[in-house]
Chains A and B, each alone.
Chain A
């Protein structure tokens, strides 16, 4: 990854996504479950009059539930959803990925001050499960 990234904490781990793909950061709001949807879809919430699906990012990355408190609204083409994170840490320039990561949702990782930061593949995260 390179360029300006939004760095988030998910269940104790650090991940980053390109700032161009982040529309805003919101609180969790009230999430209405959608029966019949895939497990990673926590539900939908009302974000200023728009219906926003909320994805359990931690669960998708195979992590524990963590302490989600924020929703990062991410976008990729037509796809738009809120990703549940513990905390938004920073918006900063990050070095290119040097490490390989075996995950459908992570492109790679870089090491910054002893902390491994995973570069989220926003397109993959937002693509509905059926397509994987």
Chain B
């Protein structure tokens, strides 16, 4: 098949998808009695257009199925009514048509048989006002509840193109930051340059905003299946319920929309399974026979709130009392295995599901709130960020690397003065309260070994407080969040990564994951032994960039603080400057002053005569080894024998001993 054929098929598929959505909404309107002749005509037209385009490109199954639906609607139009029993069959036919359009084979035949065999039962008059029924069909519109036509002209764009554009804008923002950074380093140049930079920043901001907006879509993009889902679920549980949607035009990032559709269906299911009472019970309680579920969306500050509200039985009064202790009702209900229903249904209790809802919402940088009044109903609110693309974060340094926390989760920053420990979990004192210290960063959190007055970031999330200790706070910045990619998709605990103005990467931590992360998991030390190796400060001396970076990487992953020098002379100067230096790791062949000369200079200096020095070199011959030993090297590692574990063991022995 040629590329253009594939493109046409994709186009037809997308159009048919729109038609099918409208048809479903209109059928449901007919069933509920809200719809009339206008809806009937609309279904007829949509069926006709699917039939036409399918036939044109040779999709025989969908063409014949659409034709059969059209026939039934035509009959309905002539009699002015659609038999009640037919709606259910038509809904199933729509499902089949959707599958056929997606390329599935063999779905049409059984449905065609059923449609052909359908004999009108007792007809239900389409409850439309007389003047509507008389309306000129040629002039009819396709309006139906929630499927209003958009007055502003739109174009279809491949989502990937928008993503690439956003990427490019993000790059440009980064480029701008680098430029600023460079100019600052160079003394910031003339005032004119600074002014031009400011103009550039404003233009970039506008551009970024508009591209981010391009990526937003109305909530209505995902709401069309919901009325049908509520109908089917209510039938499944022997209940009656209707769904009212408001604020469907609220805009959200496409990536967030993709992530919450399933979550909302889950909440609707909860509301029907556990909230809405059976009809008899509702009548006894003085409520209308059918339950009402409302799906409401609205913007709240920089966030979007999506609420699922039911008028069902609510949670028990006793639970509300307990929720005070648990912190919030959302937390209590999200405790795994918890259920508000008297019995646990096949779908699992509300609790198990709510735990998943909470995680998924928090993974998007949002939050979950639940309110309930016994006997009156339950309100579940998802609080979501407007966009995932940009985030304001607090940057900090830990073990020589930069990390970030979303500003929305940062409460305050304190200097650590006192540490206590309860149940092996260390905590620090903030305003006279013990705040648990996260395991992030591993070792430093053990055994109360935090240096005096280390800064700690107090994170507040969903009513809980906890702290992350760090060596240095860098500051607040607005960053473009990038995915860690498919290879790291299984690694939990990160919202993504940001590239900073100086080119460094900052991993953006998921604030909600950190508190509960197992101790070993978030340690920066990967060897798995988090207790033995004491912290230390190491000076790495090597003229070769790659060798230096490799050693720096190995040592900092192991938790050491690493300083860098490019030759012996620089190293000697750094040794004088760095307080509490524990060890020097040096190459031999370097310009200016080589490793052996450096070693001799260190030993000759009284203040550092006993500083452990490890020589790493490609020179493996006897003569070199002897020279190293004579000069006073504590260990001699030959590069071809270079072994990460051996290096770490040697350093640990020398620093710890």
Contact = CB atoms under 8 A, between A and B. Distances in A.
Interface of A: 12, 27-39, 41-46, 49-53, 55, 59, 64-70, 78-81, 126, 128-131
Contacts, number: 128
B482 interface: yes
B484 A32 contact: no
B639 interface: yes
A40 B120 CA distance: 67
B345 interface: no
Interface of B: 167, 170-171, 174, 399, 401-402, 440-442, 482-494, 496-497, 499, 503-507, 517, 521-524, 526, 545-547, 549-550, 553-554, 556-557, 639-644, 647
Instruction: Please list the 8 inter-chain residue pairs (A to B) with the smallest Cβ-Cβ separation, ordered nearest first.
Output: A69-B546, A78-B486, A65-B644, A32-B505, A130-B490, A53-B487, A51-B497, A37-B491
Contacts of A81: 485, 487
A70 B487 CA distance: 19
A11 to B, nearest CB: 9
A32 B549 CA distance: 11
A41 B487 CA distance: 9
A64 B503 contact: no
A55 B547 CA distance: 17
Contact of B488 (A12, A44, A45, A49): A44
B505 A45 contact: yes
B504 A36 contact: no
A34 B549 contact: no
Contact of B523 (A35, A39, A42, A79): A35
Contacts of B549: 28-31
A52 to B, nearest CB: 8
Given A12-B640, A36-B521, A49-B499, A41 B488 contact: yes
Contacts of A50: 482
Contacts of B489: 128
A36 B556 CA distance: 15
Contacts of A59: 644
A35 B522 contact: yes
Contacts of B441: 35
26 contacts: A27-B545, A28-B545, A28-B546, A28-B549, A32-B505, A33-B401, A33-B553, A33-B557, A35-B524, A41-B487, A41-B488, A41-B491, A44-B505, A45-B505, A46-B505, A49-B170, A50-B482, A51-B485, A51-B497, A52-B485, A64-B643, A67-B547, A67-B550, A79-B487, A81-B485, A128-B488
Contacts of A39: 526
Given A31-B549, A31-B553, A128-B488, A36 B493 contact: yes
Contact of B402 (A32, A55, A66): A32
Contacts of A67: 547, 550, 639-640, 642
- Which of A35, A39, A59 gathers the greatest number of chain B CB atoms within 10 Å? A35
Given A33-B557, A46-B505, A53 B499 contact: no
Given A39-B526, A44-B484, A65 B643 contact: yes
A105 to B, nearest CB: 14
Contacts of B505: 30, 32, 44-46, 51
A64 B644 CA distance: 7
Nearest to A48: B171
A36 B525 CA distance: 9
A130 B547 CA distance: 30
Contacts of A130: 490
Contacts of B523: 35
Given A43-B553, A64-B642, A65-B644, A35 B499 contact: no
Nearest to B494: A34
A43 B497 CA distance: 12
Given A51-B485, A67-B547, A46 B499 contact: yes
Given A30-B504, A80-B487, A49 B171 contact: yes
B401 A32 contact: yes
Contacts of B546: 27-28, 68-70
A33 B482 contact: no
Contacts of A46: 499, 503-505
Contacts of A37: 488, 491
A128 B490 contact: yes
Given A33-B524, A34-B484, A49-B499, 16 more contacts: A30-B505, A31-B549, A31-B553, A32-B505, A32-B506, A33-B399, A36-B492, A38-B491, A43-B557, A45-B505, A51-B496, A52-B485, A67-B639, A80-B486, A128-B489, A130-B490
Nearest to B641: A64
Contacts of A43: 553, 557
Contacts of B171: 49
